[in-house]
Amino acid sequence: MKKIAVLTSGGDAPGMNAAIRAVVRKAIYHDMEIYGIKNGYQGLIDGNIEKLEIGSVGDIIQRGGTILHSARCEEFKTDAGQEKGIKQLKNHGVEGLIVIGGDGSFRGAQKLTEKGYPCIGVPGTIDNDIPGTDFTIGFDTALNTIINAIDKIRDTATSHERTFIIEVMGRDAGDLALYAGLADGAESILIPEQKDDFQDVLNRLKRGHDRGKKHSIIILAEGVGSAVTYGEKIREAMNIEPRVTVLGHIQRGGSPSATDRVLASRLGAKAVDLLLEGQADRMVGIQQNQLVDHDIGDILNKKHIINLDMYKLSKELSI
């Protein structure tokens, strides 16, 4: 394999640039030509493809976002869209593709592989919702962004003796909420994997109030519902005026943490190795600090499992 390409797709995640850098440098190290596709699968359809050199990825390891830009592309879910993409790859003589993104991005990669284009997936999403890897690129940075925000909110929550409900991202996964709650000693955590725990939140609030504790932090994963709605429910049930903070896209930005930079560098380089070995339809991951790879089809058929022992622990520690 002499010519490969890389794209980022779906929601951006801090560390994607470090992964792009690793792919580009590893490919050049192995005397391959490497092309960058801009705007994800939309850019592939449009032929937004350019050759990358060593210098193209200089000074990006510390930058958030993705220099290749990203998009969610409906057209690529269709046969016609995929055929257009394949035509562009053929025009550029590209023999293999590395896709950095989440499960939606891997579905596209799987389709291309089925149609004869070897693809390798690199898990990049703040949600940490991909099976087959302990962590996804961007999760650690987003978690640290959340922690910084909650630390600040806690100051004012304590001063004013208020209850705060903080909504964090994660799509259908509760990992960001769970890790943030444990790291920040939140009084309650609401995650989609344990939806029916609202009564427990109320009980905890009541218990706290009875022993004179007037402030509390409740972290709500967006997959459970809206923090505004839950704020209303708490106001009605407890006769208090909780404050609501939706952290939003601040969680997706910022310079990647050291952990994310190292993870992205290892996963990006591994993806190039797999293409060189003649592999296709694989997703790289990290499990127990070892690089692994899995069949993309298997990954797409599985569900990410949250660590419920950690959830139990968070309850035990925030009595």
First-to-last C-alpha distance (Å) of the chain? 58
Cβ nearer to ligand F6P, comparing 126 with 205: 126
Q: Where does this chain touch ligand F6P (CB under 6 A) — which range of 23-31, 168-176, 239-247, 288-296?
A: 168-176
- Four-CA torsion 303, 119, 18, 72, nearest 10 degrees: -70
Helices (H) and strands (E) in the chain, counts: 11, 11
- Four-CA torsion 309, 311, 13, 264, nearest 10 degrees: -20
Q: Which of 171, 215, 243, 315 binds ligand F6P (CB under 6 A)?
A: 171
> Considering the complex, what minimum distance in angstroms separates the CB of residue 245 from ligand F6P?
16
Q: Which of 125, 141, 144, 216 binds ligand F6P (CB under 6 A)?
A: 125
Active-site residue set: 127
Q: Where does this chain touch ligand F6P (CB under 6 A) — which range of 40-48, 55-63, 119-127, 157-165?
A: 119-127
Regarding 11 and contact with ligand F6P (CB under 6 A), the answer is yes
Q: Where does this chain touch ligand F6P (CB under 6 A) — which range of 16-24, 107-115, 123-131, 301-309?
A: 123-131
> Considering the complex, what minimum distance in angstroms separates the CB of residue 172 from ligand F6P?
9
Mark 209-238 with x for binding to ligand F6P (rule: CB under 6 A) and - for no binding. -------------x----------------
Amino acid at 262: V
Burial (CB count within 10 angstroms: exposed 0-12, middle 13-18, buried 19+), residue 53: exposed
Q: Where does this chain touch ligand F6P (CB under 6 A) — which range of 1-9, 46-54, 122-130, 157-165?
A: 122-130
Per the CB < 8 A criterion, the answer to whether 106 and 121 are in contact is yes
Regarding 169 and contact with ligand F6P (CB under 6 A), the answer is yes
The SS3 call for residue 284 is strand
| Touching ligand F6P, residues 95-114 (CB under 6 A) | 102
Alpha-carbon distance of 269 to 265, in angstroms, equals 6
Per the CB < 8 A criterion, the answer to whether 171 and 223 are in contact is yes
Q: Which of 126, 146, 157, 267 binds ligand F6P (CB under 6 A)?
A: 126
Regarding 252 and contact with ligand F6P (CB under 6 A), the answer is yes
Cβ nearer to ligand F6P, comparing 145 with 314: 145
Alpha-carbon distance of 13 to 62, in angstroms, equals 12
Q: Which of 36, 43, 64, 170 binds ligand F6P (CB under 6 A)?
A: 170
Greatest Cα pair distance, the chain, in angstroms, is: 71
Alpha-carbon distance of 33 to 136, in angstroms, equals 27
Residues that bind ligand F6P (CB under 6 A): 11, 102, 125-127, 169-171, 222, 252
